[in-house]
């Protein structure tokens, strides 16, 4: 009965559903675990920028950044493990804080920099390319930063059962996130470019581009650092939220028997009401990534960059299968786009995923050397090897696919469970 229920709700062909679900689950979990590292990485870079601004003679060491990186992730772990009940309020605070910071920073830098703005021609027409790649390729490689931001919107899907009336509200929230992020992100970047001043000074600044722009606009170290507090705290919010989603994702895949030692990682702590073992797994892996950073920043950057590629593939696989099956295999649901519009969006998504997956494996600049080479493909290869071995040893015999809660898909939602039951994408 359980197998029949899974097959009825699966997007894939019945014969191929277990292996495709396995691949998507591994790619998705690996991408989210790698993504956890980005919050601490970006936060530590901002902190080191503050130190460099206040102490021009300071020379940052890798272990300095490592300690700040670990601190970010330990705080995120503590909040997730000990403060599960306040996570909804924590996320609301993150939303308010980020919009407040966006407003305050934009108004302040525009007011302080007036009337010494860069020209509209510089902001909207000039193209600076120092990568060694042709302009078109360089522009496409710049999509990596946008791709990193897009991955966060997917977190809603993996927290879906913690949302009231999820089949209706979940898609609306995802659309709203994309809309808000696109509008505020575009405005923020345009404002920063107008007040940046000499772009060569910004690029070469040891304080980092963002803090250098804020300093140029305010002409005051204290003012620039005060404004930087907003993104600094945002990175802490982001680290916590990504760890929440990643731990839920690993918990759900382990519950379905997709990970080694699945019984251990699928347990929910009886008192904390969180998948503590899954959280510990994420924390341990993030610390391992940090240790790799101590030895090789190139290897660490490959892990971080692989998060975008892996999650892109996790999005692309179910979309491709759905299109190949005529987009008519999904069950009845409350939120449905017009069929013609769905086709357009799916095709655009597949083109984007295909293009960026290839491009994000390119070296960021030419000529390629051992230090600037993109080792993302190596990180991806490690995930492929581990998932293949576990499939051969255990998955092909015992894995039948995801366990899906019918009530969520039909829009029913009673009392919220302590842990969301997450549907794998294939």
Q: For residues 29 and 259, is the Cβ–Cβ distance under 8 A?
A: yes
Q: Are 257 and 393 in contact (CB under 8 A)?
A: no
Closest CA to 37 of 240, 239, 277: 239
Q: Nearest-5° angle of CA 70, CA 62, CA 27? A: 55
Both tokens of 42, joined, read 């970006």
Cβ partners under 8 Å of residue 130, min gap 6: 203, 365
The C-alpha atoms of residue 167 and residue 410 are separated, in whole angstroms, by 7
Give yes or no for a contact between 22 and 387, defined as CB atoms under 8 angstroms apart. yes
Within 10 angstroms of residue 86's Cβ, the number of other Cβ atoms is: 12
What is the distance between the alpha carbons of residues 116 and 291, in angstroms, rounded to a whole number? 44
409 pLDDT exceeds 90?
Answer: no
For the chain, what percent of residues have pLDDT higher than 70? 85
| The pLDDT value given to residue 7 | 43
Average model confidence (pLDDT) across the chain: 82
Q: Where are the domains of the chain?
A: 1-330+353-398
Length of the chain: 426
Q: How many CA atoms lie within 13 A of 101 on its CB side?
A: 20
Alpha helix ranges (H) inside 55-86: 62-82
What is the CB neighbour count within 10 angstroms for residue 58? 13
Render pLDDT for 169-192 as a digit per residue (tens, 0 to 9): 777 777 887 888 888 888 999 999
pLDDT digits 0-9 by tens, 3-55: 434 444 467 677 778 888 888 889 999 989 998 988 888 899 999 999 988 88
Least confident of 149-158, 174-183, 248-257, 345-354: 149-158
Q: What is the pLDDT of residues 355-377, one digit of tens each?
A: 888 887 888 777 777 767 777 88
Note if the pTM is more than 0.85: no
- pLDDT category at 157 given cuts 50, 70, 90 is low
Percent of the chain clearing pLDDT 90 (strictly above)? 25
State the average pLDDT over residues 262-289: 91
User: DSSP code of 394?
Assistant: I
Asked if the peptide bond before residue 115 counts as cis, ω within 30 degrees of 0, the response is: yes
Least confident of 140-144, 193-197, 289-293, 307-311: 140-144
Angle between helices 297-324 and 17-54 (to 10 degrees): 140
Q: CA 245 → CA 20, 147, 304, 348, distances in Å?
A: 21, 18, 16, 26
Q: Is the peptide bond before 13 cis (omega within 30 degrees of 0)?
A: no
DSSP tag of 267 = -
* Backbone φ, ψ for residue 158 (5° rounding): -90, 0
Could you tell me if 33 and 402 are in contact, meaning their C-beta atoms sit under 8 angstroms apart? no
What number of other Cβ atoms are within 10 A of residue 69's Cβ?
A: 26
CATH classification of 1-330+353-398 is 1.10.443.10, yes or no? no
For residue range 109-149, what is the model confidence (pLDDT) as tens digits? 999 998 889 888 888 988 888 878 888 888 888 777 766 66
pLDDT score recorded for residue 188: 92
Rounded to 5 degrees, what are φ and ψ at 343?
Answer: -60, -45
């Amino acid at each position: 009965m359980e197998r029949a229920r899974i097959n009825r709700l699966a997007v894939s062909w019945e014969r191929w559903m277990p292996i495709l679900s396995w691949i998507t689950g591994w790619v998705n979990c690996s991408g989210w675990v790698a993504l956890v590292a980005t919050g601490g990485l970006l936060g530590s870079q901002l902190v080191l920028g503050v130190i460099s601004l206040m102490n021009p003679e300071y020379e940052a060491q890798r272990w300095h950044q490592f300690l700040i990186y670990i601190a970010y992730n330990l705080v995120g772990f503590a909040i997730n493990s000990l403060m599960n009940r306040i996570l909804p309020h924590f996320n609301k605070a993150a939303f308010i804080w980020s919009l407040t910071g966006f407003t305050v920073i934009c108004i302040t830098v525009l007011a302080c920099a007036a009337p010494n703005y860069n020209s509209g021609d510089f902001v909207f027409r000039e193209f600076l390319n120092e990568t060694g790649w042709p302009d078109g390729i360089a522009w496409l490689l710049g999509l990596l930063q946008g791709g990193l931001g897009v991955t966060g919107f997917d977190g809603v899907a993996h927290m879906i059962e913690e949302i009231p009336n999820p089949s209706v509200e979940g898609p609306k929230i995802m659309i709203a996130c994309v809309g808000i992020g696109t509008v505020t992100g575009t405005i923020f970047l345009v404002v920063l470019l107008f007040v940046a001043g000499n772009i060569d000074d910004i690029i070469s600044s040891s304080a980092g581009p963002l803090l250098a722009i804020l300093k140029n606009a305010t002409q005051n170290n204290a003012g620039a650092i005060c404004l930087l507090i907003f993104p600094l705290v945002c990175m802490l919010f982001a680290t916590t939220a990504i760890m929440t989603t990643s731990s839920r994702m690993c918990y759900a895949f382990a519950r379905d028997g997709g990970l080694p030692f699945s019984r251990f990682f699928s347990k929910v702590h009886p008192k904390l009401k969180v998948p503590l073992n899954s959280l510990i797994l994420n924390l341990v892996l993030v610390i391992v990534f940090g240790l790799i950073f101590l030895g090789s920043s190139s290897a660490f950057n490959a892990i971080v960059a692989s998060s975008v590629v892996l999650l892109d593939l996790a999005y692309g696989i179910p979309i491709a299968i759905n299109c190949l099956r005529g987009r008519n295999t999904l069950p009845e649901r409350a939120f449905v786009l017009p069929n013609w519009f769905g086709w357009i969006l799916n095709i655009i998504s597949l083109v984007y995923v295909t293009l960026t997956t290839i491009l994000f494996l390119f070296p960021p600049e030419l000529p390629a050397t051992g230090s600037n080479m993109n080792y993302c493909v190596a990180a991806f290869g490690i995930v492929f090897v581990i998932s293949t071995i576990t499939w051969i040893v255990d998955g092909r015999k015992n894995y039948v696919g995801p366990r899906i809660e019918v009530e969520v898909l039909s829009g029913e939602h009673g009392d919220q469970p302590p842990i969301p039951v997450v549907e794998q994408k294939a």
